[in-house]
A and B are shown apart, each in its own frame.
Chain A
């Protein structure tokens, strides 16, 4: 079974750093792009960016470029989303999801369970 398992909920203060993870299993991790999606409380889905674990090629939405860093450690089949200095506006649920094809152009399936990030002073 193809599965993505994300790290647990985080509570942080503004200015702190954070790295959340997404571990893939049940498929060839290096063959499929993995995307990250934000969902702020009570709001819709926002596409953040995508990474190809095979060579770490990364693409960001302009809205998130420079705000987060997407990375991967293919030796442990894990993708990451990282902030160097959190803001209260970074609070939300973050999902990782695998591209449904081996192409950059594809739908997202399956999805991780989500990681809730709460940033408050």
Chain B
């Protein structure tokens, strides 16, 4: 079973600044990694899939990179609506156990 970790647990950022979130897999997941954003009281929303592909409607300030075991989500010029919790998820494992990471909370500095 692939174990996902994320760092940092909390990231304090000023509006307009850049945020860099990390996600690590305990074994290679190729590029089969997704990122989700969750705001309080809402369902998660897909941001990125295939490690670096933006989902429909996601602004260009969001970008993803990495493959294998190390992945990064970058948010350039953070907007007020970007303060949320971000989760990574791998969908590569066999048998299929598509675990999420524990999340990174991005809050206002």
Chain A residues with CB under 8 Å of B32's CB are: 105
Please, which residue of chain B has its CB at the minimum distance from the CB of A63? B97
When each residue 86-109 of chain B gets 1 if its CB lies under 8 Å from chain A and 0 otherwise, what string results? 010101100111111111000000
Q: Does A107 contact B (CB under 8 A)?
A: yes
**Minimum CB–CB distance for B11 against chain A, Å:** 16
Q: Does A67 contact B (CB under 8 A)?
A: no
Whether A95 pairs with B100 at a CB distance below 8 angstroms is no
Chain A residues with CB under 8 Å of B102's CB are: 44
Docked pose: A91 CA to B44 CA in angstroms = 19
Docked pose: A112 CA to B42 CA in angstroms = 10
**Minimum CB–CB distance for A72 against chain B, Å:** 17
Chain B residues with CB under 8 Å of A53's CB are: none
Q: List 17 A-B contacts (CB under 8 A).
A: A37-B44, A44-B100, A44-B101, A45-B44, A45-B87, A45-B89, A45-B103, A47-B99, A62-B1, A62-B97, A97-B44, A105-B32, A105-B92, A107-B34, A107-B91, A108-B36, A109-B55
B-side residues, CB < 8 A to A, are 1, 32, 34, 36, 38, 43-46, 49-50, 55, 87, 89, 91-92, 95-103
